[in-house]
Structure 1
Amino acid sequence: MVTPYAEVIGDPIAQSKSPAIHNFWLGKLGIEAEYRACHVPSDGLAGYLAECRDDSDWRGCNVTMPHKQAVMEALDAIDPLARAIGAVNTIVPLGGGELKGYNTDAGGFLEPLRKELEKQHLFRMARVLGTGGAARAIITALAGEGFTLVLAGRNPEKARALLDELAPDGEHHAIDLAHFADPTDFAFDDREGCLDLVVNASPLGMAGQPPLELDFSHVPPGSIIYDIVTHPLETPLLDAARAAGFETVDGLSMLIGQAAIAFEKFFGVAAPRNDGDRELREILTR
């Protein structure tokens, strides 16, 4: 019996949580399909895609580092959002051997913020820390939701270039990441009616990486603190934010949210999420 399948590709790939997420949903729905992890080095990317074009059982793939940008030139069609972000993390077959690329990271990032984004605000500001690949989707997503952005990186010139490329129409600011490490006596104005976010879009705080140095005197009252790191799930940033009384969003929120968008593209049905992802979260954090 032939089994339809989707997979995640990258180099390295063993650490990916995507197989656990998608196979959990497939099992819940009783769908006869599977989701795999496939190690694809950069010099094997073209060959991998060529094989997929001819495989009638292949339903698509998620794309992780280092291929999210390199894969774009090999595709037949690219969704406008992915084109705007400049990165593809999901590929699906169109039929006739053609492949189309999407980016589900932006939608996944925004998902846990949706209830707040449905409200009207006088002003929206996000401090985004990090200028790597993940930041591209986050910058594009937040600019599209009317945020003024402060993008902080070790290289402020790179931060400025990212803002100019991805959000050229707003009055956004690029600064040195070190700016947030030292205390400030800045007096925030009235934040009533404002939506403030602080987003760690960097690997800082991840296992094996140094912690993110953020003094909370830089954080406006009532901010939401969002850390996209998933290992560990409870990062030093989130621990400190909760201790200071801030609302927080962890990295599994974005990971599961982007996977749900991809799952529906692969298998044609919505992911089963009736319990608020409680059971899936328990599996992913064992």
Structure 2
Amino acid sequence: MSTEIPRIPLAGVVGAPVTYSRSPVLFRHWLDQYDLPGHYVPLHVGNDDLETVLRTLPRMGFVGVNVTIPHKVSVMSLAHIVTDRATLIGAANTLIFREDGTIHADNTDGFGFIENLRQSVPDWTASAGPAVVLGAGGAARAVIASLLDAGVPQIILSNRSRSKADALAEEFGKRIRVVEWVQAAAVLAEGATVVNTTSLGMTGKEDMRINLDGFHSGQLVTDIVYTPLRTAFLDAAEAAGCQTVDGLGMLLYQAVPGFERWFGQKPVVTEATRQAVLA
């Protein structure tokens, strides 16, 4: 009489490149913390191989993957089931492989963004006033969707390419007000919440060159960049008396739903989690 040996669950992050992803460190920390069987690995996958890889991974014992640049939009058409929030955002960052071979696509970036704000600043309320959002890329889509869902009355959106901002405004509706990039500095003061979703200020990228003198006390300012952890954007806001939230928490909290689904344990984000990833 044979006994079936349980398979060790495998998960990973799919992208190109994935060299600098901190997700493997994060997931290893949680797997060790909760003494769970499983592995989480970086998977460098080019555009031409994406579909083949995603169809093959479930047969190799993978229960799911996170998705990063440049595949967050492409995987939408390869999934069998797409959640409403992934559809709204227009991108997916979390794939669940079901036993029957179907791929379930979700987007937890917005959840991670809002949870980071709420845990870092417990008295933050979305309805306190308008939000200023800089950038109109994939991350901005998740941030905008989550802010609107949380109850922000208006989003003032500015992007270096005006056409991309206009497209988001048309898609998300009347609560979006678009301003030219050259006017971004002038509207910073209007935001109860101010968010940088661009790569400006990230290690290896261009600096944030807009004037940040509009920051003032009473604002909550966050930057989704976490390399470096403290950007010039956040330093300027802190100097002006704003509450600031770095971008690392968004990375940590967006990973919670996937980890729970893949490994059967809801992880708790703690200071030890942050330090493990930073190390």
Q: Do both proteins adopt the same fold according to a TM-score greater than 0.5, normalized to the shorter chain?
A: yes
Unaligned stretches of 5+ residues in structure 2: none
Matched, 1:250 2:246: yes
Q: Distance in 1 between the 2:107 and 2:49 partners?
A: 22
Q: Distance in 1 between the 2:188 and 2:86 partners?
A: 38
Pairing 1:203-242 to 2, within 5 Å after superposition:
203-219=199-215, 221-242=217-238
Please tell me the residue identity of whatever aligns with 2:253.
G
Matched, 1:79 2:71: no
The share of aligned pairs that are identical, in percent, is: 35
Please tell me the residue identity of whatever aligns with 1:62.
N
Please tell me the residue identity of whatever aligns with 1:162.
L
Matched, 1:162 2:168: yes
Please tell me the residue identity of whatever aligns with 2:272.
E
Please, which of 255, 263, 266 is the counterpart of residue 262 of structure 2? 266
Instruction: Provide Cα deviations, 1:220-279, integer angstroms capped at 9, x if missing partner.
Output: 541111000011111111112112211101010100010112211211210133xxx212
Q: Distance in 2 between the 1:80 and 1:265 partners?
A: 18
Pairwise CA distance, 1:208: 1.4
The residue number in structure 2 matching 1:284 is 277
Pairing 1:1-286 to 2, within 5 Å after superposition:
2-55=7-60, 57-114=61-118, 123-147=128-152, 148-165=154-171, 167-168=172-173, 170-181=174-185, 196-219=192-215, 221-273=217-269, 277-286=270-279
Instruction: Provide Cα deviations, 1:179-206, integer angstroms capped at 9, x if missing partner.
Output: 234xx5x8979xxxxx811100000000
Secondary structure at the residue paired with 2:17?
Answer: coil
Q: Distance in 2 between the 1:64 and 1:187 partners?
A: 29
Pairwise CA distance, 1:29: 0.3
Secondary structure at the residue paired with 1:54?
Answer: helix
Contact 1:180–1:218 (8 Å) recurs in 2: no
Secondary structure at the residue paired with 1:13?
Answer: coil
Contact 2:215–2:242 (8 Å) recurs in 1: no
Q: Distance in 2 between the 1:38 and 1:142 partners?
A: 31
Q: Which stretch of structure 1 is more off in the superposition, 258-267 or 5-14?
A: 258-267
Equivalenced residue count is 272
- TM-score where L is the length of structure 1: 0.88
